[in-house]
Amino acid sequence: MRFLFVDRIIALESGRTIETLKNVSATEDVFDDHFPGYPILPGALVVETFEQASQLLIGVSHDFARVGRLRGVQRAAFRHFVRPGDQLRVRCARSAGDDAGWIVSATAEVDGRRVASATLDFALVPAVDEERAHAERVREAVRVLRAAPVELTGPGGAA
């Protein structure tokens, strides 16, 4: 995962579901071209956010011994624009599968309103050889994204 589209893991139930947050910042490079004067997060990046959240769920669920390889996306629907300043809440749930592959149902909401959904099909492959590096990146991402947020302190000291 070179570009990470998950800022925080909110909830995770191994083998079942994951909920994540993506804070959509106006400073993201994509908004230079998509679209000047009316910035919109491309649907492909929403699907990438679904894929990354699913990768985190797959990694945790298999103790990082297996990784997911996206085989396909079905029934992708985009209902509302995602714009700078939005907080994208993503929920991915395993709806079918075994050790060979998973089907994941994904939804994204902004302020409680569904903005996108899709079904993702993953092949699960052993994390050996070149896949080992991918599994280690996913493991590190989970460690960082599950950490407690930084405590902010006021002018007088401890929070």
Which residue do the tokens 């139930």 mark?
Answer: 13
Structure tokens that stand for 155 in this block: 């002018």
| Among 34, 62, 80, 134, the one annotated catalytic | 34
Q: 30 and 43 in contact (C-beta within 8 Å)? A: no
**Residue 152 DSSP class:** P
Q: Is 34 among the catalytic positions? A: yes
Number of residues in the chain: 159
Which residue intervals of the chain are DSSP H helices? 43-61, 130-146
Interstrand relation of 101-110 and 66-78 (parallel, antiparallel or unpaired): unpaired
The residues carrying an active-site annotation are: 34
